[in-house]
Amino acid sequence: MFKLDEAKLQAVLKQLHQAIYNHERWHNDLIRTIICQQPHDQHDMAKDAHRRCRFGQWYYNDVPTEVREHQAFLAIRAEHKYMHQLATQLLATASTKAAIAPHDYDAFANALDRLRLEIQTLEREIEESLYNHDPLTGALNRIGMLTSLRALHELVKRQVQRCCIAIMDLDHFKAVNDSYGHAVGDKVLSASVGYLMDHLRPYDKVFRYGGEEFLISLPSTDLQAGRTMIERIREELGKTPLAFHGSKPIPLTVSFGLAMLDPDVIVEETIHRADKALYAAKTAGRNCSWIWDTVNAAPVA
């Protein structure tokens, strides 16, 4: 997930596409130089050739910090540099009119394939952030929610792991919009979901379920551990000013309903149970979390 607004992320993707095009042109020119025994570009023989090529100029200079620190972006660095080192060796051999050894060319080709894979991974992750996430909050879109939960459900049925889900709802959110306006309401919504995602584990997922409702999947988590995690987040959210109207912080609390993915029922039924637990939490006064008790088939505090 990239913490950039849609316009900036679109700009990064456009720059990446141009960088990929430049890289492919560089590769074509390199092969042509070797095969046709033409003079090579001196930049390709430099120790910092990976910084001088047009892809490297983009990679090392023109990328926002939010992208530069992302794991998919960082993974490109070593592969790109190593590929250029092997390219320099090929050019050095070609300049002597000697034949290039097959294993030297294979090493270069393999390094090029690994680099392309890393670049394609970055491209895919940027596209997923753009097209599979809610642009306001950064949560995943609802469209992929059932697919993700069904995959987790299969692991539950095979007794590979347990999985807890939770539904979060912002308390009295309509009153925030009515009192402060929708622009402030959007800031509150975005900040609350951002706080939630920042305090979950990397493999937990947050989906925008409804207007101000969000579904959270917590893999490898039983109901007690899930309740502990959610309660910690709920309590901290209630103490954290999420937006300001003038100089006055806007108070906000959230309610949660939790349920376990049950191997004996479909995913939709588990969501329905978490929704019932959420309704019970809101009926009980809000700013609390309730769980679905499978034994008694009812929500409990």
Does the pLDDT value for residue 252 go beyond 80? yes
Work out the number of other CB atoms within 10 angstroms of the CB of residue 6: 12
Confidence band, pLDDT 50/70/90 cuts, at residue 299: confident
β-sheet bridge partners, residue 289: 256
CB 191 within 8 A of CB 137: no
pLDDT of residue 131: 84
Structure tokens given for 51: 């910084």
Sign of the CA dihedral running 257, 262, 264, 270: positive
> How open is the CA angle 170-172-176, to the nearest 5 degrees?
95
Work out the number of other CB atoms within 10 angstroms of the CB of residue 128: 14
Confidence band, pLDDT 50/70/90 cuts, at residue 52: very high
Burial class (CB in 10 A: 0-12, 13-18, 19+), 211: exposed
| Secondary structure of residue 284 in the 3-state scheme | coil
What the chain holds in terms of domains, given with CATH numbers, is 6-131 (1.20.120.30), 142-300 (3.30.70.270)
pLDDT of residue 245: 66
Specify the pairing of strand 244-245 against strand 248-249: antiparallel
How far apart are the C-alpha atoms of 285 and 220, rounded to whole Å?
Answer: 30
| Secondary structure of residue 249 in the 3-state scheme | strand
Q: State pLDDT tens for residues 148-157.
A: 999 999 999 9
Sign of the CA dihedral running 279, 284, 289, 293: negative
pLDDT of residue 143: 84
213-216 long-range Cβ contacts below 8 angstroms, 24+ apart: 213/167, 213/168, 213/169, 213/278, 214/137, 214/139, 214/167, 214/168, 214/169, 215/145, 215/165, 215/166, 215/167, 215/168, 215/271, 215/274, 216/165, 216/166, 216/167, 216/168
Which are the contacts of 259, defined by CB distance < 8 A and separation ≥ 6? Answer: 164, 165, 223, 270, 271, 273, 274, 277, 291, 292
How far apart are the C-alpha atoms of 90 and 84, rounded to whole Å?
Answer: 10
pLDDT of residue 295: 78
How far apart are the C-alpha atoms of 113 and 79, rounded to whole Å?
Answer: 10
Which are the contacts of 78, defined by CB distance < 8 A and separation ≥ 6? Answer: none
User: Strands (DSSP E) along 97-212, which ranges?
Assistant: 163-170, 205-208
Q: State pLDDT tens for residues 1-31.
A: 677 777 888 999 999 999 999 999 999 999 9
pLDDT of residue 247: 65
Q: State pLDDT tens for residues 286-295.
A: 999 999 988 7
Structure tokens given for 275: 């929704």
Task: Give me the mean pLDDT over the 60-64 stretch.
Answer: 89
pLDDT of residue 239: 86
Catalytic sites, residue numbers: 212
Cα 213–chain centre separation:
20
pTM passes above 0.75: no
Average pLDDT taken over every residue of the chain? 92
Q: State pLDDT tens for residues 85-137.
A: 999 999 999 999 999 999 999 999 999 999 999 999 999 999 888 888 888 88
